[in-house]
Amino acid sequence: MDLERITSAANPRIKRLTALQQKHRERERERAYAAEGVRLFSDTPQELIEEVFLTEKLLSEDPGIAAKLQGCRAFLIPESLLEKVSDTRSPQGVIFTVKMREYAERDLLGGWDPDADLSAGAAGANPASGKGSVAPLLLVLEDIRDPGNLGTMFRSAEAAGVTGILMSAGTADIYQPKAVRSTMSAVYRVPHRYTDDLCGDIERLKSMGITVFAADLKAAKA
């Protein structure tokens, strides 16, 4: 595979990559973020991948990487440059930029229609359609500060079968490199969004018939 080579950190593409890694404002402005690692790259939906930067060693040693590159805008970079731009101590040979998915409230509900399903209860059948309908299971996060913890919550939530994750505006950036890695690719599969009005959104969920449970470290009531 004949790929264009980039050798300088001053290259505009590398500068953009670095900005997406380091600056929340740039991620918000471009609605894109950086991720790295073989597993994350393999798991990333093809349509979300923007640009890929990888080493010649990885390309020659991993046939799966070469197959994944089909249709991608990819560049070869030396290992010394990868180490310079990587967010990890032991880079795996590939770093890439990803388009953010945009999710609406309905996506977090897993397609559940409260108007049709409300009378069926939390796990009943949809009387309008006559078919079974599973009510949503959401994880609501308020002001989680640590990116690694946030990413871990994403992958734990996916394992628990959540339909979506709702986060307060004060919660860490899930697209920060450490957070993305910690999700173990759950960031691609679990619908999620931030809100400026967490209390208002919780009240709206309750009005839909969704039961809300809260956990508080200082609470005295079980």
Q: Looking at 99, 130, 147, which one is the last position of a domain?
A: 99
pLDDT in tens, 182-200: 999 999 999 999 999 999 9
Q: Tell me the β-bridge partners of 73.
A: 51
Contact 131, 125 (CB under 8 A): yes
144, part of any domain? yes
Domain co-membership, 90 together with 20: yes
pLDDT at 134 over 80: no
Specify whether 38 is located in the same domain as 55: yes
CATH number at residue 181: 3.40.1280.10
Q: Are residues 115 and 193 in the same domain?
A: yes
Q: Is it the case that residue 51 has pLDDT exceeding 60?
A: yes
pLDDT at 70: 87
pTM of the prediction? Answer: 0.88
Characterise 185 by phi-psi region: left (phi > 0), alpha (psi -120 to 50), beta (else): left
List the Cα angle 154/68/65 in 5-degree steps: 90
Three-state DSSP at 52 gives strand
- Are 114 and 92 part of one and the same domain? no
Domain count, the chain: 2
Same domain, residue pair 139 and 190: yes
70-125 pLDDT, tens digit each: 889 999 999 999 999 999 988 999 999 999 999 999 999 998 887 765 554 444 43
Beta strands per DSSP E along the chain: 4-5, 32-36, 49-54, 73-76, 94-99, 125-126, 131-132, 138-141, 164-168, 192-195
Contact 158, 186 (CB under 8 A): yes
- Domain range spanning residue 158? 105-207
In a domain, 222, yes or no: no
Quick check: is 58 in a domain? yes
